[in-house]
Chains A and B, each alone.
Chain A
């Protein structure tokens, strides 16, 4: 089943924020950002800028009718800076003009004098200075102190992973206009329409019902529009409300890349202890999360780092602490994987270090420590339906890992200028928002009189194909042709109090809500059919657009059934509500059962390294992935390939560089490089693990958005192995991304 949006996409007819036909009198906005990483505003004079022909008004914090506050989890983020500046590009004022060029011209005429203060960009330094966004948290199991005594081998090390720019090709944007009775409607490129609605209501001083948020689709999100779309939606909404005119704010790429937060960089220290037979007995880690200048989603990301800090391994004695530090970078935020890749990278590095020191293959240690049925995670959940060893065995069976390794060895023996590297990257990823109350969703399903179906959910379509999956769920429950079904925009007046489309859970939550709504409607239609056929409802079913009675296809088609039900005054609208059962988590104890289920998979990666130039190519990534019973293999395959390549980008090319003052140096697409078609692996093969799939996944089809991002980590270790082949004196270190610069320096480091 193809993505239902694809025809519109290839014709250029799909609508994004900047494609919405504008209303007459629309004004355009541009943001004045902080010119310093840390400082104080001495003087802000907008008089000359405001006098420019075409400039309607310039807004700053004083103009905000409600609260100047957009912090979601912690209220520590002003919409517009008041006196202090905490990161380069922090919004200070909003110019609204009759055109975008005029607004941008006016920006240059604003007089801003600042007093620059010392900036912190390093999370370890922030930790020393006790600059925390929230208090540190620790997850533990067993007795770490005692455990070291029984370890045969103990290794320690440091791991760093860098930031990552989302680089959704559609930048942040919003289009707001006044509605009657003082309300505001906002079109926003957001993953979280309710977050936008709630934040805008607060900033406007409104009850939530006076703010309507509508989202058709996003030109990419990847987490970057989960929380951070709200600021730009609020800005256009404030301007639209105060001016009583439509206002569009679409960020210039250079502003977007400068002002928005990125994947959190982490710096970590680990200590790992193994028994003589390579069982990991103890694992201790301290992870310093670089949160940036405001809390944003850092606490939730920190939490997921803790949950996934042991990846797919059972370690009986674990103690992991994350420090969420405050620095002078843009507030870092959600990005596919949400802290899990950063946490998993540390234990993979620890295992790699142990393998190097002990001179054993890394995958030997990996295999020996895979989670097993009924093992306890460090957060108290008991592992069930564990598929990690199955994935590994299935990969081995299909490709013979020994053979893959031999090919690499053979190549390396015969080549001096080029070396190949190989690695195995296993993945375990928990599905559910770790904040239990967020695991709920609603779907509003209308069956129209003619038999066509309209569905609204809280899910945001951003390329992951969630709308297609919703339509599939409805088509399956009703057993009708999918062409009868249309997914509406996501709108807060139709589906309220939504969770953001995030945590890979969009299809599970909204799909189950859709299923529940459709099942209720089906029940009513079954009763109608029973009446029509003068039988009992239990004798009725619908199959392939027709009513089946006692197993026999009748003359009553879907359209007739719907029409009859309508005339009989049966309600053809249903609101389905779903809340994931069984899950809970007690933060006081840091124990519970936070995940509905886990996703597993294993990737085998081979790369070729040019030892003269320090450049590399990914030859192949072979994956066995646990999809459950995939509802849409084509879309899910796209998610695997896409997440993998994004993960490879994070581990290789994508280097976010700030200077000491917190100024972004990789501030454009010419200095920040994401994978292009040539940087993708030459071969990606992904085979589904044959399993049934868990009950809690929508139609037993497991969530797929984030877990495969972690496969990209395998490329780091494959490159590192190739470096080792060339430079026998290289002592592996763990500093991602492994750019061609870092590679070349390590190839020739003595």
Chain B
């Protein structure tokens, strides 16, 4: 029995756990403010809020309802635009009206949801964060400048927000209706776990709900998204363990991970959009085996292990060996990814992630790349380079990495390594770019790592001069 709170009502219904939340909202509950735009998480018109009980509080995040399988909202509070409406406009709604931030209006409820979610964060607000909150919302009338102005107004209204308990503060200031006060209690009353032991494994849904929604809506599922056994990010014996159902947002907001990758808050903004990051899991990203998967390319550069489980059995496999060929994995039937594990490198070390896509944000890369470098006195003592979109699998650049070990960081060594990189990659022409482009871009991103990490030694000018001809 699927149990959740929709706005201020507890819903208990027999609904297939693979049904899209969007369809439940619109066609079972007749709430038409949540719009169908693309059904692939790329427009944000169906954005809703998902509240989870954490201790005594409910923590909210934005999600795209089109890609949310019903089973994932069990025991949660789902808020649609109807659940925000009060007798007068909320300050978020008012800011959009005052700045003329609506034209055709079809995308507008999604913007209201995302901006309201921004207000609910246990965080200090600023305009750039408010804009980031709407990074997954497309307005085709392109009223972005007026929406931007509205976002600015909203963030300035957040100046005195109680960041320890934003929900109560927002109720008081009439940003959200009063019923939100009762939600923690109500949610507590409906917390019960449901068993799911089907054949189709699903995490956040951000891939399967795009690739095969009909199958998800039909088959028996094994749902891992809320399975506490698959949640959590922690350190053990100097190893960072990221459990399978950690979302991209969980990862970027984890202090443990931030400690290892100080730039991750900026870097991960290149990964999809806020609501999709709130849903997509690391295991999903790995198991999808897309050669261009951002999280895979990112973590592959630490040469991590995967822990795979099947019943009581457990085995480890190197992530780089996990990919056998295009969409082929070293994964037995019934085996699940339990976690990704990597040794926390000793400081100092260098890490960088690069991604170029047609559109900088909310797009799939043409080529992406990551690198990990340890350097002693100008010599590379240890390094791993990865590159995506240029081979059938997320590519660990074995030869390029091996070549650079023991080499001085110099224009010459990098240039030679770039030559080896070209031999290791085998891009094909497709909708994300021609072979020629991907080869050039792979080189450029490889160079970008060094230009960014070693600005004293490696300058753009010298590197390009030395590598004039492609």
Partner of B441, one of A614, A646, A668: A614
CB distance from A671 to the nearest CB of B (A): 5
Tell whether B363 is near chain A: CB-to-CB under 8 Å: yes
Chain A hits for B426, CB < 8 A: none
Compute how far the CA of A684 lies from the CA of B37 in the bound complex, rounded to whole angstroms: 27
Q: Are A104 and B81 in contact (CB under 8 A)?
A: no
Q: Are B437 and A220 in contact (CB under 8 A)?
A: no
Chain A hits for B444, CB < 8 A: 612-614, 744
CB distance from B363 to the nearest CB of A (A): 6
List residues of A (595-649) whose CB comes within 8 Å of B's CBs: 611-615, 634-635, 637-638, 641-642, 644-646, 649
Partner of B104, one of A10, A416, A462, A665: A462
Chain A hits for B36, CB < 8 A: 18, 171, 250
Partner of A668, one of B30, B34, B38, B356: B38
List residues of A (249-270) whose CB comes within 8 Å of B's CBs: 250, 252-253
By beta carbon, the residue of chain B nearest A166 is B140
Q: Are B103 and A10 in contact (CB under 8 A)?
A: no
Q: Determine, out of A44-52, A448-456, A497-505, A672-680, the stretch whose residues face the partner at the interface.
A: A672-680
Chain B hits for A10, CB < 8 A: 89, 93-94, 96-97, 102, 108-109, 112
Tell whether B249 is near chain A: CB-to-CB under 8 Å: no
Q: Are A220 and B361 in contact (CB under 8 A)?
A: no
Partner of A638, one of B33, B81, B146, B357: B146
With known contacts A675-B144, A741-B366, A669–B42 Cβ distance under 8 A: yes
Tell whether A25 is near chain B: CB-to-CB under 8 Å: no
Chain A hits for B354, CB < 8 A: 613
Partner of B141, one of A463, A612, A739: A463
List residues of A (558-580) whose CB comes within 8 Å of B's CBs: none
Q: Are A220 and B131 in contact (CB under 8 A)?
A: no
Compute how far the CA of A464 lies from the CA of B109 in the bound complex, rounded to whole angstroms: 18
Q: Are A680 and B100 in contact (CB under 8 A)?
A: no
List residues of B (13-42) whose CB comes within 8 Å of A's CBs: 26, 30, 32-40, 42
Tell whether B10 is near chain A: CB-to-CB under 8 Å: no
Compute how far the CA of A12 lies from the CA of B81 in the bound complex, rounded to whole angstroms: 6
Chain B hits for A655, CB < 8 A: 358
Chain B hits for A7, CB < 8 A: 89, 93, 97
Compute how far the CA of A9 lies from the CA of B106 in the bound complex, rounded to whole angstroms: 7
Q: Are A6 and B105 in contact (CB under 8 A)?
A: yes
By beta carbon, the residue of chain B nearest A749 is B470
Q: Are A12 and B135 in contact (CB under 8 A)?
A: no
List residues of B (190-236) whose CB comes within 8 Å of A's CBs: 210, 214, 217
Q: Determine, out of B165-173, B311-319, B331-339, B445-453, the stretch whose residues face the partner at the interface.
A: B445-453
Tell whether B304 is near chain A: CB-to-CB under 8 Å: no
Tell whether B238 is near chain A: CB-to-CB under 8 Å: no
Chain A hits for B137, CB < 8 A: 677
Q: Are B141 and A750 in contact (CB under 8 A)?
A: no
Compute how far the CA of A10 lies from the CA of B101 in the bound complex, rounded to whole angstroms: 9
CB distance from B469 to the nearest CB of A (A): 6
Q: What are the interface flags for B450-470 relative to A under an 8 Å C-beta threshold, 1 for contact and 0 otherwise? A: 010000000011001000111
Q: Are B43 and A673 in contact (CB under 8 A)?
A: no
With known contacts A170-B104, A744-B437, A253–B39 Cβ distance under 8 A: yes
Size class of the contact patch on chain B: 35 or more
By beta carbon, the residue of chain B nearest A678 is B361
Q: Are A638 and B45 in contact (CB under 8 A)?
A: no
Compute how far the CA of A612 lies from the CA of B104 in the bound complex, rounded to whole angstroms: 38
Compute how far the CA of A676 lies from the CA of B89 in the bound complex, rounded to whole angstroms: 26
Tell whether B122 is near chain A: CB-to-CB under 8 Å: no
Tell whether B258 is near chain A: CB-to-CB under 8 Å: no
> Which applies to chain A's interface (DSSP): helix, strand, loop or mixed?
loop
With known contacts A220-B141, A739-B358, A635–B100 Cβ distance under 8 A: yes
CB distance from A31 to the nearest CB of B (A): 16
CB distance from A746 to the nearest CB of B (A): 11
Partner of B38, one of A5, A18, A645, A669: A669
With known contacts A16-B106, A614-B441, A657-B431, A169–B146 Cβ distance under 8 A: no
Partner of B448, one of A2, A12, A462, A612: A612
Q: Are B38 and A253 in contact (CB under 8 A)?
A: yes
Q: Are B35 and A680 in contact (CB under 8 A)?
A: no
Partner of B138, one of A464, A676, A745: A676
Tell whether A222 is near chain B: CB-to-CB under 8 Å: yes
List residues of B (103-162) whose CB comes within 8 Å of A's CBs: 103-109, 112, 131, 134-135, 137-148
Tell whether B12 is near chain A: CB-to-CB under 8 Å: no
Tell whether B85 is near chain A: CB-to-CB under 8 Å: yes
Tell whether A653 is near chain B: CB-to-CB under 8 Å: yes
CB distance from A27 to the nearest CB of B (A): 14
With known contacts A6-B105, A614-B441, A750-B469, A101–B214 Cβ distance under 8 A: yes
Chain A hits for B460, CB < 8 A: 416-417, 611-612
Tell whether B377 is near chain A: CB-to-CB under 8 Å: no
List residues of A (202-221) whose CB comes within 8 Å of B's CBs: 217-221
CB distance from A420 to the nearest CB of B (A): 16
Residue with the highest number of chain A CB atoms closer than 10 Å, among B102, B145, B434, B448: B145
By beta carbon, the residue of chain A nearest B142 is A645
Compute how far the CA of A170 lies from the CA of B32 in the bound complex, rounded to whole angstroms: 13
By beta carbon, the residue of chain B nearest A218 is B104
With known contacts A219-B104, A741-B433, A675–B112 Cβ distance under 8 A: no
CB distance from A10 to the nearest CB of B (A): 4
List residues of A (152-210) whose CB comes within 8 Å of B's CBs: 166-171
Tell whether A19 is near chain B: CB-to-CB under 8 Å: yes
Q: What are the interface flags for A18-34 relative to B under an 8 Å C-beta threshold, 1 for contact and 0 otherwise? A: 11010000000000000
Q: Are B105 and A677 in contact (CB under 8 A)?
A: no
Tell whether B187 is near chain A: CB-to-CB under 8 Å: no
Chain B hits for A634, CB < 8 A: 100
Q: Are B106 and A170 in contact (CB under 8 A)?
A: yes
Q: Are B140 and A674 in contact (CB under 8 A)?
A: yes
With known contacts A6-B102, A10-B96, A676-B362, A669–B40 Cβ distance under 8 A: yes
Q: Are B103 and A12 in contact (CB under 8 A)?
A: no
Tell whether B440 is near chain A: CB-to-CB under 8 Å: yes
Q: Are B470 and A741 in contact (CB under 8 A)?
A: no
Chain B hits for A615, CB < 8 A: 356, 360
Q: What are the interface flags for B347-391 relative to A under an 8 Å C-beta threshold, 1 for contact and 0 otherwise? A: 000000010111111111010000000000000000000000000
Residue with the highest number of chain B CB atoms closer than 10 Å, among A6, A635, A676: A676
Tell whether B412 is near chain A: CB-to-CB under 8 Å: no
Q: Are A740 and B358 in contact (CB under 8 A)?
A: yes
Chain B hits for A13, CB < 8 A: 33, 85
Compute how far the CA of A615 lies from the CA of B433 in the bound complex, rounded to whole angstroms: 14
CB distance from B350 to the nearest CB of A (A): 18
Q: Are A676 and B431 in contact (CB under 8 A)?
A: no
CB distance from A95 to the nearest CB of B (A): 15
Compute how far the CA of A657 lies from the CA of B434 in the bound complex, rounded to whole angstroms: 12
Chain A hits for B362, CB < 8 A: 676
Chain A hits for B263, CB < 8 A: none
Tell whether A465 is near chain B: CB-to-CB under 8 Å: yes
Chain A hits for B112, CB < 8 A: 10, 12
Compute how far the CA of A527 lies from the CA of B329 in the bound complex, rounded to whole angstroms: 85
With known contacts A612-B451, A670-B42, A11–B33 Cβ distance under 8 A: yes
Tell whether A3 is near chain B: CB-to-CB under 8 Å: yes
Q: Are B141 and A677 in contact (CB under 8 A)?
A: no
11 more A-B residue pairs beyond the given contacts A220-B104, A463-B105, A641-B142, with a C-beta to C-beta distance below 8 A: A2-B98, A11-B89, A11-B93, A12-B32, A12-B80, A646-B142, A673-B358, A677-B137, A741-B366, A744-B437, A744-B441
Give the 8 A-B residue pairs with the shortest CB-CB distance, closest first: A12-B33, A463-B104, A219-B106, A9-B105, A463-B103, A669-B42, A12-B81, A645-B142
Q: Could you pull out 12 A-B pairs where Cβ atoms are within 8 angstroms?
A: A3-B103, A7-B93, A10-B94, A10-B96, A170-B35, A219-B107, A614-B444, A646-B142, A668-B40, A673-B358, A680-B145, A684-B145
Interface residues of B (CB under 8 A from A): 26, 30, 32-40, 42-43, 45, 80-82, 85, 89, 93-94, 96-98, 100, 102-109, 112, 131, 134-135, 137-148, 210, 214, 217, 354, 356-364, 366, 430-434, 436-437, 440-441, 444-445, 447-448, 451, 460-461, 464, 468-470
